[in-house]
Amino acid sequence: MRMREHDGVITTALTLLLFLSFPAFSYGLLPPRTLLSKLSKGTFLTTRELWFHQTLDHFSPHDHREFAQRYYEFVEYFEISDRPIFLVIGGESELMGIENDYVGVLAKKFGAAIVSVEHRYYGKSSPFDSLETQNLKYLSSKQALFDLAVFRQYYQNSLNAKLNGTKIENSWFVFGGSYAGALSAWFRLKFPHLTCGSLASSAVVLSVYNYTEYDQQVGTSAGAECKAVLQETTQLIEHKLASNGEELKASFNADDLERDGDFMYLVADATALAIQNGTPDKLCNPMVKTKKAGEDLVDAYAKYVKEFFFGTFGFNVQIYDQEYLKKTSINEDSSTRLWWFQVCTEVANFQVAPSNDSIRSSKLDTKYHLDLCRNVFGEGVFPDVDETNLYYGGTNIAGSKIIFSNGSQDPWRHASKQTPSTDLPSYTITCFNCAHCTDLRGCPLFPLTLEGNENYCSSPHAVRKVRLQISKHMELWLSECDAGKSYM
Ligand SMILES: *[C@@H]1O[C@H](CO)[C@@H](O)[C@H](O)[C@H]1NC(C)=O
Ligand SMILES: *[C@@H]1O[C@H](CO)[C@@H](O)[C@H](O)[C@H]1NC(C)=O
Ligand SMILES: *[C@@H]1O[C@H](CO)[C@@H](O)[C@H](O)[C@H]1NC(C)=O
Ligand SMILES: CC(=O)N[C@H]1CO[C@H](CO)[C@@H](O)[C@@H]1O
């Protein structure tokens, strides 16, 4: 059990600063390592770490252990102390600070404070020094939601203490994208008295066992011409893998991936993440050009992976290696192991190949994912998606005052709530490069453009339209909250 203290961790903190990670298989909101290091200081509103004591197990009557959870606060726009507090929920990766995305713009508009909490286990908020399976038993969305509720009370109380014991209840609003988007929706669902509303951006609220729609949407978003080239490329790679696998892997700088399945997962992810990020041109332009010139597609794809996916994007090979995922020491890529644990226990959304017309290799089937879960975490670890959907309701979520937003090109949108219902508005931002979390971040998903500037989206107007709706709902719900101080 590790308790991080405020003092005495300076060296550790500096070391850990180098340990930035990006969960490649995850829903992916935060930028990968090399990109983060390229980000200028100004992209964060703050990186000043703060800590508080969190309960390890919210569901045990006799376990009172605690761990230190990291959070950030930004109060520059918070001029009058009765203005709202925006809680930006940390997701499946290290939280480096509060980024200056569209939430920053909204905070300025509403005069709000922003606070953001790192998700338990990720980054520096790990309760344990070793991430062996046994120690991961408190890693779940249910515990994480309870963490947020506890934090919300803690922060409100400490704010009131700072204001000399006033008993103000600020109006809270929660935000999140991707998995954290689901948490944002679920927080409002489970703790409606603690927030006036929620923005659930590209929120993956439905757990699907065989999530074949992912690959299908990648194909649709890539467009017919590019999709056909990518399918041909996958087939050529599969043939070469069978005949001369070592040379092939070496040409991708992926010699470390002993399992062919892991290599094919890398091949599939390198395509999918270009689409999910809203950068289809980086992939499709060179591939279609190569096809037209009658040149070698496998060579061109290897070049794309090495130069763009590893180089510019900053992914590394080892996160695709199941042997690496078994490592239990906290390291620069721990997020990948942690996220796979959540995939393997709670949410699944296995990115399996559809039976027909897939881009990814048909070897990336249900068995590949289940074998990975067993191999990395041990016997008996598999996701009970029915229980997850039973607990939260999936797309039938029975909450209120939650805004759902999706990008038209995003492969995750089929596991989000795409159709509005009473008190649950849902918007789709439609444009050529509108993908994952476009409402919060603009285009592409990363590197972040300051304040989530929409001008890099192929239709800035489409983004502005949805943002206007978001702002209107927030205004209404916050005013209803202020009027009655009744959160329901
Ligand atoms: C709280 O009380 C202290 C001491 O009386 C005073 O200096 C400070 O300005 C007060 N703060 C606020 C926010 O009222
Ligand atoms: C997922 O796909 C596998 C393989 O096609 C199949 O055996 C299984 O029944 C599917 N599971 C669900 C829940 O659809
Ligand atoms: C498989 O996909 C192709 C291309 O989209 C389509 O033409 C064909 O009808 C599909 N076959 C089946 C059995 O769904
Ligand atoms: C409000 C809105 O744009 N809803 C659309 C979201 O996406 C689904 C599925 O593509 C459409 O059917 C909705 O009309």
Enclosing H/E stretch for 174: strand 172-177
Ligand approaching nearest to the C-alpha of 416: 4
Q: Assign 246 to helix, strand or coil.
A: helix
Looking at residue 78, what is its pLDDT?
93
- Residues with a known catalytic role: 178, 410, 436
Ligand 4 atom with least separation from CA of 427: 1
Backbone angles phi, psi at 423, to 5 degrees: 65, 10
What is the Cα–Cα distance from 412 to 347, expressed in whole angstroms? 13
Place of tokens 């996958």: 234
Quick check: is 67 in a domain?
yes
The span from the CA of 470 to the CA of 402, in Å, is 10
Rounded to the nearest whole angstrom, what is the distance from the C-alpha of residue 211 to the centroid of ligand 2?
10
Q: Are residues 367 and 438 in the same domain?
A: no
Question: Does residue 45 sit in the same domain as residue 193?
Answer: yes
The best mutation among 366, 368, 388 to test binding of ligand 2, ranked by most ligand atoms within 8 Å of the C-beta, falls on 366
**355 close to ligand 2 (CB < 6 Angstrom):** no
pTM: 0.91
18 occurs within a structural domain: no
What is the rounded radius of gyration, in angstroms, for the C-alpha atoms of the chain? 22
Does ligand 2 have an atom closer than 6 angstroms to the CB of 382? no
191/317 same-domain check: no
**Whole-angstrom Cα distance, residue 214 to residue 343?**
15
Whether residue 401 sits in one domain with residue 438: yes
**Quick check: 17 pLDDT over 90?**
no
Q: State the DSSP H helix or E strand holding residue 397, giving kind and residue range, or none if neither.
A: none
Judge whether 152 lies within some domain: yes
Structural domain includes residue 162: yes
Domain extent at residue 46: 33-207+392-484
**Which are the contacts of 187, defined by CB distance < 8 A and separation ≥ 6?**
89, 145, 148, 149, 174, 194, 195, 198
Of the residues 382, 408, 432, which one is the last residue of a structural domain?
Answer: 382
Task: Grade residue 42 by pLDDT with cuts at 50, 70 and 90.
Answer: low
Question: Which residue from 277, 276, 274, 243 is spatially nearest to 287, judged by alpha carbons?
Answer: 274
| Residue 69, strand partner residues | 52
Q: What share of the chain is helix, strand, coil (3-state, %, to 5)?
A: 50, 10, 40
Spacing, Cα 424 to ligand 4 middle (Å) = 13
Reduced to 3 states (helix: H, G, I; strand: E, B; else coil), residue 368 is helix
DSSP string for residues in 9-72 = -HHHHHHHHT-----TTS---S--HHHHHHS-GGGEEE---EEEEEES-TT-SS---EEEEEEE
> Is residue 323 located within the same domain as residue 351?
yes
Domain co-membership, 231 together with 188:
no
Task: Look at residues 382, 410, 438 and tell me which one is the last residue of a structural domain.
Answer: 382
293: which residues sit within 8 A by CB, 6+ positions away? none
Q: Does the residue 8 lie in any domain?
A: no
Give yes or no for residue 366 having a pLDDT over 70: yes
| Residue 18: predicted pLDDT | 30
Helix (H) or strand (E) holding 471: helix 460-484
Letter for the amino acid at 300?
A
Asked if residue 249 and residue 133 are part of one domain, the reply reads: no
- Give the pairing type, strands 44-46 and 98-99: antiparallel
CA 110 vs CA 113, 169, 235, 244, 471: distances in Å: 9, 16, 52, 60, 9
Is the domain of 48 the same as that of 81? yes
Same domain for 229 and 369, yes or no, is yes
- Whether residue 352 contacts residue 288, with contact meaning beta carbons closer than 8 Å, is answered with no
Angle between helices 260-276 and 213-222 (to 10 degrees): 50
| pLDDT value, residue 338 | 97
Query: What was the pLDDT predicted at 79?
Result: 76
The whole-number pLDDT of residue 368 equals 97
CATH number at residue 436: 3.40.50.1820
Token pair in block for residue 407: 């990008």
The pLDDT assigned to 239 comes to: 98
Of 455, 461, 421, 454, nearest to 437 by C-alpha is 454
**Tens digits of residue pLDDT in 283-329:** 999 999 999 999 999 999 999 999 999 998 888 999 999 999 999 99
- In three-state secondary structure terms, 367 is helix
Ligand located closest to 354 CA: 2
Q: Judge contact between 435 and 275, C-beta under 8 A.
A: yes
Query: Which tokens hold the place of 248?
Result: 């092939």
* 366 CB near ligand 2 (under 6 Å): yes
Q: Which of 230, 357, 359, 362 to mutate to test the pocket of ligand 3 (most atoms within 8 A of CB)?
A: 357
| Burial class of residue 125 (count of CB atoms within 10 Å of its CB; 0-12, 13-18, 19+) | buried
Residue 269 lies in a domain: yes
Ligand 1 touching residue 165 (CB < 6 A): no
- For ligand 3, which residues put their CB under 6 angstroms from it? 356-357
**Would you say residue 21 lies in a domain?**
no
The chain-wide mean pLDDT, for the chain, equals: 90
- pLDDT surpasses 50 at 14: no
* Same domain (yes/no): 217, 342: yes
Cβ partners under 8 Å of residue 444, min gap 6: 277, 278, 279, 433, 435, 456
What's the burial of 123, exposed, middle or buried (CB within 10 Å: 0-12/13-18/19+)? buried
Closest ligand (CA of 359)? 3
Residue 3 lies in a domain: no
| Residue-wise DSSP of 292-317 | HTT--HHHHHHHHIIIIIIIIS---G
Structural tokens at position 71: 């959070």
pLDDT at residue 4, as a whole number: 44
Residues 230 and 375 in one domain: yes
> Pick from 343, 359, 382: which residue ends a domain?
382
Angstrom distance (rounded) from CA 326 to CA 343 = 15
Q: What is the pLDDT of residue 479?
A: 95
% pLDDT > 90, the chain:
84
Helix (H, G, I), strand (E, B) or coil at 354: coil
pLDDT in tens, 91-116: 999 999 999 999 999 999 999 999 99
Q: What is the pLDDT of residue 165?
A: 74
Are 159 and 305 contained in the same domain?
Answer: no
Probe residue for ligand 1, chosen from 164, 167, 168 as the CB with the greatest number of ligand atoms within 8 Å: 164
Amino acid letter for position 483: A
Query: Angle of helix 260-276 relative to helix 297-304, nearest 10 degrees?
Result: 70
Cβ–ligand 1 contact at 161 (below 6 Å): no
Counting the structural domains of the chain, the total is: 2
